[in-house]
Amino acid sequence: MSKSHRGTGIRAMASHGRGKCPVCGNENIKVLYEKEIDGNKAMICKFCNANLKNKARKEAKNAAPAAEAPAAEAPAEA
Ligand SMILES: [Zn+2]
C-alpha cells in the first residue's frame, strides 16, 4: 500500500495532486484532503486540513465541559 498523500499515491492525480487551496488561496500546493466547506466537498491543503481539525477539536473540548457541568453540580446540591 502506498502512502495516500505522498509519492506513488499522488502520482496518478492531476498535477500530482497540486493545485490551488480554496481556503488559504495558496497556489501550487498539494491539495490532498477532502473537506466539506459550506456544504461543498473541497480539496484543501494539509495546513488548512490541520487548522480545521484543530478548530473542530477545540470546539468539541469547549462544548464538552459545558454539557457536563450541570450533571457534576447536581450531586453536590442534593
Ligand atoms: Zn490551504
Residue 45 lies in a domain: yes
Lookup: cell for 49: 486540513
Lookup: cell for 36: 466539506
Pair 33, 24: CB distance under 8 Å: no
- Ligand 1 mean position, distance from CA 46 (Å): 7
Domain encompassing residue 57: 8-77
pLDDT tens for the chain, residues 1 to 78: 667 888 888 888 888 889 999 999 999 999 999 998 888 899 999 999 999 999 999 999 888 776 555 555 555 555
User: For residue 69, what pLDDT is reported?
Assistant: 57
Residue 1 lies in a domain: no
Domain count, the chain: 1
Q: What are phi and psi of 76, to 5 degrees?
A: -65, -35
Residue 17 lies in a domain: yes
- Ligand 1 mean position, distance from CA 1 (Å): 26
User: For residue 15, what pLDDT is reported?
Assistant: 87
- Ligand 1 mean position, distance from CA 69 (Å): 36
7 CB contacts (<8 Å, ≥6 apart)? Answer: none
Q: Is the overall model pTM greater than 0.75, yes or no?
A: no
